[in-house]
Amino acid sequence: MGIVTRVFGLAFTAMGAFVLFSSVGTTDPFGLVWSFIGMFVMALGLTLMTAGKERDKKPTPPTVTEIRCSSCDFKEIRDFEKGDYILKPVEATCPKCQSTMTIEGVYIVREEPDEKDRI
Ligand SMILES: [Zn+2]
């Protein structure tokens, strides 16, 4: 979907640029009108390309909370909940020894390698 939008955007931009540049410098009385149309089509194409990029944006990566038992080595990973912070005691007790458990870490799960060098 995003690729199709970008291809259309590129086509519109190229078409607009062609109309714009071929109408510049002509003695055609409609030259000015054509250059306006060219500019408009080009702007439309650029908007489409930008919109396509915007839609491809990935959702924020999921965050997980690591809970650890204070008495034994039991560890649990669950979805991050609002208000979670490191060393916060949780209401749930350890399923192994019934001791209290605390949050040991909060992590952002990255499913794909970082793409910060790509604009
Ligand atoms: Zn335990």
In 49-88, DSSP assigns E strands to 63-69, 75-79
Distance of CA 93 from the midpoint of ligand 1 (Å): 8
* 74 and 97 co-located in one domain: yes
pLDDT at 52: 57
What is the domain extent for residue 102? 63-108
pLDDT in tens, 1-34: 578 888 888 888 898 888 888 877 777 777 778 8
Distance 83 CA to ligand 1 centre (A): 23
Highest mean pLDDT (candidates 15-19, 29-33, 107-111, 114-118): 15-19
Residues 44 and 85 in one domain: no
Rounded Cα gap, residues 101 and 71, in angstroms:
8
Q: Are residues 70 and 51 in the same domain?
A: no
Which of 55, 79, 98 delimits the end of a domain?
55
Predicted local confidence at residue 7, as pLDDT:
87
Residue 116 lies in a domain: no
Residue 97 Cα to ligand 1 midpoint, Å, equals 4
The answer to whether residue 90 sits within a structural domain is yes
- Per-residue model confidence as pLDDT tens digits over 18-74: 888 887 777 777 777 888 888 888 898 888 877 756 555 666 778 999 999 999 999
